[in-house]
Amino acid sequence: MIDNDTVMTHGAELHNKKIHKNIEDTSFFDIPLATTTDNFCKFEGKEYPLNNSVTVLRTDTGQVMGRPRSDKYKVVNPKLLYDRHAEKLLESNLPTKDLTVTDWSWDNGAKSLRTCKLNDLDFEIANGDKVTARQDIFTSLDLSWRFSVFNGGYRSLCENTCVFGGERLYHTRRKHTKGISIEAILSKLDKTLEVFYTNRDEMRIWQKSTVTDEQVAKLLSDTVCKKPLADLKKASDPNIVTINQKLFDYLMYRYWEEVPSLGKNLWSVYNALTHWSTHTDAEWERQNDKGIFVVLKTSRGSSNKDLVATRRQDAVRDVLQSKSWKQLYRTN
Domain positions in the chain are 3-31+77-201, 209-330
The pTM of this model reads 0.69
Amino acid at 133: A
Cβ pair 92, 98 in contact under 8 A: no
How far is the C-alpha of 284 from the C-alpha of 255, rounded, in Å?
13
pLDDT given at position 239: 65
| pLDDT interval class at 164 (50, 70, 90) | low
pLDDT given at position 301: 53
User: Each residue of 268-290: pLDDT tens digit?
Assistant: 999 899 888 877 666 656 665 65
Least confident of 89-98, 183-192, 198-207: 183-192
Q: Which helix (H) or strand (E) holds 137?
A: strand 129-140
Burial track 16-36 (b if 16+ CB lie within 10 A, e otherwise): bebebeebeebebbebebeee
Query: Which residue has better confidence, 148 or 328?
Result: 328
pLDDT at 298 over 70: no
Strand partners, 137: 114, 149
175: DSSP letter? -
Average pLDDT over residues 110-114: 90
pLDDT at 5 over 60: no
Least confident of 31-35, 226-230, 288-292: 288-292
CB neighbour list of residue 48: distance below 8 Å, 6 or more residues apart: 40, 41, 42, 55, 67, 68
Q: Which helix (H) or strand (E) holds 54?
A: strand 53-58
Average pLDDT over residues 150-166: 61
108: DSSP letter? G
| pLDDT interval class at 41 (50, 70, 90) | low
Strand partners, 69: 54
User: Each residue of 59-99: pLDDT tens digit?
Assistant: 888 888 877 777 677 777 889 889 988 988 898 888 999 99
Amino acid at 218: K
Query: Which residue has better confidence, 44 or 61?
Result: 61
Query: Which residue has better confidence, 261 or 307?
Result: 261
pLDDT at 3 over 50: no
298: DSSP letter? S
State the alpha helices, DSSP H only, in 134-290. Answer: 182-186, 191-208, 213-222, 230-236, 245-262, 266-278
| pLDDT interval class at 23 (50, 70, 90) | very high
Ordered DSSP codes for 153-187: EEETTTTEEEPP---TTTEEEE--BTT--HHHHHG
